Amino acid sequence: MKTISIIIAAVLLCGISSIWAVPKEISDEAVAIVNNETITYSELLKEGGDNVKGDPDRVLENGMTVKEAREIVLEQLIRKKILDQEVEKYGIVVKDKEIESAIEQEMAIYGLTKTELLERLAKENLNFSDYKKEKEYSIKKQKLVSKKIGAHIIVTEEEIQNYFKEHESEFADLKQYRVSEIVIPIPADVTSKELLSLRNQMDEIRRMAVGGADFAELAKKHSKAPDAPEGGDMGFIQPKDVGAGFSMRLKIMKVGEVSEVLATPMAFLIFKLTDTKPIPGGVKVEDVRADIVDILTNQRKIQLFNKWLEQIREEAFVQKML
């Protein structure tokens, strides 16, 4: 692990003053330059919170040092800045109706009235105008990804049939599964600090579930899914009714088992397998078509997006000053 003295020595050799040598709370020096736009310490602090404060060698609860956390958060901010610039480059715009729809959807997820939403924003030191701007930005990013990636992904019937034949044995013993879930939504513009807090909350809920707490009662108390009042009971589902990742996990679980915490772009969730029964007539390609399409689409989407993001990251002028 590099010491503070080594960091300072490196900084002096480079002729750059270290922001860590001055009080963190008042420092607003640049920590990176991305295509002539700066990322400041205050932005790093806002994104990383206490995880990027203090002694670089301090070990966080997750085993990571402050220095490592700073580097990770800074890289996230760099990629975010690059994506911001791409949004501007392509002139992506969002209509008021789209923003209103996104806000209504979030209110529905959390079961909030307009008044309750405003109260929640006030607690987070946000006004409604800033909140709308955050929603607009989130939608712009989604449109950018769709523009650069979505249109390039096509899964043919031949590919579906071939995948089914090649993996038929993997699908052979699929069943109908009775599942209960606990869901904690992730806000569209969540910060790293908030995301960590939500993850810790779900980890604690899972710990209680695995430790013997009544899953249904935990769902009623903590889950934000529509089935929370029923203890998270989703009823019997078939593989074709859910995504590939979900169904594959169900396949290897035992009745009574609680899943690991799953993270999606929209939520953290855990689920419990409560019962199984055979699929009438055996598994056919139609039973797993959605799974196969999801698998092939996601594989390509990840490959294309990562390739594109790495390309524009390499092409960008980036200077780090940590």
Most confident of 144-153, 154-163, 238-247, 254-263: 154-163
**Does the residue 227 lie in any domain?**
yes
Higher pLDDT, 92 or 124: 92
Asked if 73 and 104 sit in the same domain, the reply is no
**Does the residue 320 lie in any domain?**
no
- Domain end, chosen from 148, 181, 208, is at 148
Asked if 177 and 218 sit in the same domain, the reply is yes
- Tell me the whole-structure pTM to 2 decimals: 0.50
Asked if 183 and 271 sit in the same domain, the reply is yes
> How high is the pLDDT of residue 233?
96
> How high is the pLDDT of residue 149?
78
Q: What total of structural domains would you count in the chain?
A: 3
Residue 141 predicted with pLDDT over 50: yes
Per-residue pLDDT tens over the stretch 13-30? 343 333 444 444 445 789
Asked if 22 and 70 sit in the same domain, the reply is yes
Asked if 49 and 141 sit in the same domain, the reply is no
Structural domain including 46 reads 4-77
Asked if 251 and 193 sit in the same domain, the reply is yes
Closest CA to 179 of 261, 246, 271: 271
**Does the residue 317 lie in any domain?**
no
**Count of positions (residues) in the chain:** 322
Residue 288 predicted with pLDDT over 90: no
Tell me the average pLDDT across 289-309: 84
Please name the residue ranges forming H helices in 65-156: 66-89, 96-110, 114-123, 128-148
Asked if 197 and 254 sit in the same domain, the reply is yes
CATH of the domain at 218: 3.10.50.40
Asked if 202 and 248 sit in the same domain, the reply is yes
Residue 75 predicted with pLDDT over 90: yes
**Does the residue 42 lie in any domain?**
yes
**Does the residue 291 lie in any domain?**
no
Residue 312 predicted with pLDDT over 90: yes
- Domain end, chosen from 77, 112, 135, is at 77
Query: Can you tell me the distance from the alpha carbon of 136 to that of 68, in angstroms, rounded to the nearest whole number?
Result: 31
- Across the chain, what does the average pLDDT equal? 83
Asked if 137 and 210 sit in the same domain, the reply is no
**Does the residue 313 lie in any domain?**
no
> How high is the pLDDT of residue 145?
79
Lowest mean pLDDT among 46-60, 132-146, 233-247: 233-247
Tell me the average pLDDT across 256-261: 91
Tell me the average pLDDT across 268-294: 86
Q: Check if the beta carbon of residue 221 is closer than 8 Å to that of residue 237.
A: no
> How high is the pLDDT of residue 220?
97
- Domain end, chosen from 15, 44, 77, is at 77
Asked if 27 and 57 sit in the same domain, the reply is yes
Asked if 184 and 268 sit in the same domain, the reply is yes
Asked if 209 and 114 sit in the same domain, the reply is no
**Does the residue 140 lie in any domain?**
yes
pLDDT band at 126 (very low <50, low <70, confident <90, very high): confident
**Does the residue 109 lie in any domain?**
yes
Per-residue pLDDT tens over the stretch 201-223? 999 999 999 999 999 999 999 99
Strand order across the 233-237 sheet: 233-237, 175-185, 267-278, 262-263
Q: Which two tokens stand for residue 83?
A: 């994506």
Tell me the average pLDDT across 135-149: 84
What's the burial of 66, exposed, middle or buried (CB within 10 Å: 0-12/13-18/19+)? Answer: buried
> How high is the pLDDT of residue 26?
44
Per-residue pLDDT tens over the stretch 162-179? 999 998 887 777 788 999
DSSP-assigned letter for residue 207? H
Lowest mean pLDDT among 116-120, 169-173, 220-224, 262-266: 169-173
Tell me the average pLDDT across 81-109: 85
> How high is the pLDDT of residue 222?
96
